[in-house]
Structure 1
């Protein structure tokens, strides 16, 4: 095949956000006015590559472009200085990358097969936030505490049996509490269930959700005031130690809820008691307890992002630079999920990223071959001894009179 006709992996990765689609989404007509070669789209492409490879600095990105002929051919640009990268990162607005992220989310959800985790629910949403800590002297605009700065990513994800899909994100300085973003992240949607932790406990909002028939499951704070209306029999075999209908709050401080909730006590994997409240009265207590365990999926997502993308340290110190980097990290995650879905790959997303690192500027066939390569090792690994089988074999020998070998000092009955 002619080398010029080979489809490169980087082109396939960015096919869903090609140059035409990029400019159509950002809706800024004069963004490249007076720009000769380093356009906003080329910056976007370079930052995607930097995220996949977890490049440590803008200087490293500049060096990588200068030393990699394949990058130069794909991006039609020979070199870019560190200062040009820094300037572009500072002047481009985060809103444009936010639009691209939400577009990719819609594409992923359209391509994802609907698989209900349990009966009677549509989507399962999980809401939480994660803070990226920073030095206060270098990032004064993100002041968080007296000696600390930080940015908080408020996130809603859709959880399926196979994927964790970021659905909606809000980036703010870390001083904004989780509860302040509930109106943005919790939307009225029939048949959906929202999972969130104690940072989102708000009795007035719970009453509003009950009024709108919006279903939720959350943990209850230890100091909550509870009025028990009635109780169901516990089921310790299923780790259900309490199942009651309750009112939360009290009249004195005006927190008393108008709607009753369901309170369930179960245990986590460490044996600690977990108190759950929900307005789902149509599900069994075990189903609710099992659903709440899916809340950890968002923790897995945050951990994956911080370990395998570049969001713990930043290329620039301005607000735009930091937010742009985080949005592009989320976009990179979405692009990798789309590659996994497109080729119906059932392995881990980390392996998709590793294959991208190795084959990003090679032909697409090289990436597909790497992705589906079968391991050469066929051994099942070290297997445990079947002590019961060996003991029964010795007993059988004894019963049949085959005992002469037991007088041999070189015989070890553990290795037959």
Structure 2
């Protein structure tokens, strides 16, 4: 309840409103689409016809018995142009600060485990999208990137940028948001000496998968048959030194890192690279399971794209795309926070069952449709308790260790068959 009240107070704060409106005179007249109402409407995930969504929203907001047309879709389209998309990023930062202050973070051997990964999303077929974000195969596409907490599923920082911006460039932008005493997981698309040096400069730990042919050091390590080794890495290639200079690190500097071999069930070997050099505190055998936790960020993108229907944007402008993306991230974080808080209750209720159970994410987000609006406008313990109880009764079994080969027997259809969209 404290977190809900903190977000509500931000939406009523004059300084917060002034920071997140496009012009000083925006949201100064007494209208139905106030700053707060506009933010709440976008957070309510409008995915069907806008007029229908607006009518439902104002019925809930005004506690009316029937839907009436209070605001037109055209008025909404004009009003959203006054709102900076960064408002949802600021609200997410407020949420994350509250989680820190309440001590709700989980750690692994004293470190918070995070992950960074990128993806892409198809955009509305508008020329303005192509000009701003770029295109792929003649379709407008944007680059996505996230800094993600693998323990509780919270997205700490997210980016939606032109597709020409690379994943490693996005990783650079995430560095300022890495908390102290954290370990960040990267896949094999990220290795680069400039990033190793930059993470060392920021005193942030990492675990990264390397391509088996990354450089001669890695090849020799694989040929040696060793399980682990500590070596110094340097920028030997002219292009690598140029990247170091552009990133603001010494191109002649050396970074001491630890190589770890992991044998896969298929018989193949993969190589992990980490800045955790203490072999007693962090033995080699713990890293295979640790790196596997990175998969959480992959499933998080699936939540955004399939369950939250990320590519079903509510507008056809650059501002609208950014607003929808960051609003979706905030909604997802709020739903996962409730799910995380409910987990001890669920485990106590179902401790006699063979399998472990958790809140079904799709059902959890669906329960927040319109309900979240009511909670943020009229915060109350009873209303929150009702939502939490509905979530606690919408469960899915946790089946760890499942693995299935990818077999495509027909052309891929739009969406993922096992994942249903929210209402």
Under a length normalisation based on structure 2, what TM-score does the superposition of the two structures give? 0.71
Q: Could you list the per-position Cα deviations for residues 286-330 of structure 1 after superposition, in whole angstroms to 9, with x for gaps in the alignment? A: 112221111111112111122222412211111111101111111
Shift of the 307–73 alpha-carbon distance from structure 1 to 2, 3 Å rule, reads same
Question: Do the aligned residues in 1 keep the contact of 2:124 with 2:313 (CA within 8 Å)?
Answer: no
Match of 1:167 among 136, 156, 170: 156
**2:329 equivalent to 1:330:** yes
Q: Could you list the per-position Cα deviations for residues 316-365 of structure 1 after superposition, in whole angstroms to 9, with x for gaps in the alignment? A: 11111110111111111222234345666543261432433496669725
Q: Could you list the per-position Cα deviations for residues 170-205 of structure 1 after superposition, in whole angstroms to 9, with x for gaps in the alignment? A: 221222101112332124754321111222221123
For residues 382-393 of structure 1, what are the structure 2 equivalents within 5 Å? none
Q: Could you list the per-position Cα deviations for residues 96-154 of structure 1 after superposition, in whole angstroms to 9, with x for gaps in the alignment? A: 2221121122223333534322x2x3211211122112255442222133613222222
Question: Do the aligned residues in 1 keep the contact of 2:113 with 2:182 (CA within 8 Å)?
Answer: yes
Separation in 1, partners of 2:94, 2:76? 25
Q: Secondary structure of 2:295's match?
A: helix
Partner of 2:167: 178
Shift of the 261–145 alpha-carbon distance from structure 1 to 2, 3 Å rule, reads same
Question: Do the aligned residues in 2 keep the contact of 1:228 with 1:247 (CA within 8 Å)?
Answer: no
Question: Do the aligned residues in 2 keep the contact of 1:225 with 1:249 (CA within 8 Å)?
Answer: no
**2:201 equivalent to 1:223:** no
Separation in 1, partners of 2:235, 2:28? 61
Partner of 2:230: 245
Match of 1:55 among 47, 64, 71: 47
Q: CA RMSD in A?
A: 3.7
Q: Secondary structure of 2:293's match?
A: helix
State which drifts further: 94-103 or 334-343: 334-343
Separation in 2, partners of 1:332, 1:223? 41
Shift of the 297–374 alpha-carbon distance from structure 1 to 2, 3 Å rule, reads closer
**2:359 equivalent to 1:348:** yes
Structure 2 gap ranges (5+): 241-251, 347-357, 376-381, 396-423
State which drifts further: 301-310 or 253-262: 253-262
Partner of 1:107: 98
For residue 41 of structure 1, report the CA deviation from its aligned partner: 1.0
Match of 1:81 among 72, 89, 92: 72
Question: Do the aligned residues in 2 keep the contact of 1:127 with 1:196 (CA within 8 Å)?
Answer: yes
Q: Secondary structure of 2:217's match?
A: strand
Separation in 2, partners of 1:36, 1:26? 15
Shift of the 148–268 alpha-carbon distance from structure 1 to 2, 3 Å rule, reads farther
Question: Do the aligned residues in 2 keep the contact of 1:65 with 1:78 (CA within 8 Å)?
Answer: no
Q: Secondary structure of 2:254's match?
A: coil
The structure with the larger Rg is 1
Structure 1 gap ranges (5+): 1-10, 235-239, 376-416
Shift of the 339–82 alpha-carbon distance from structure 1 to 2, 3 Å rule, reads same
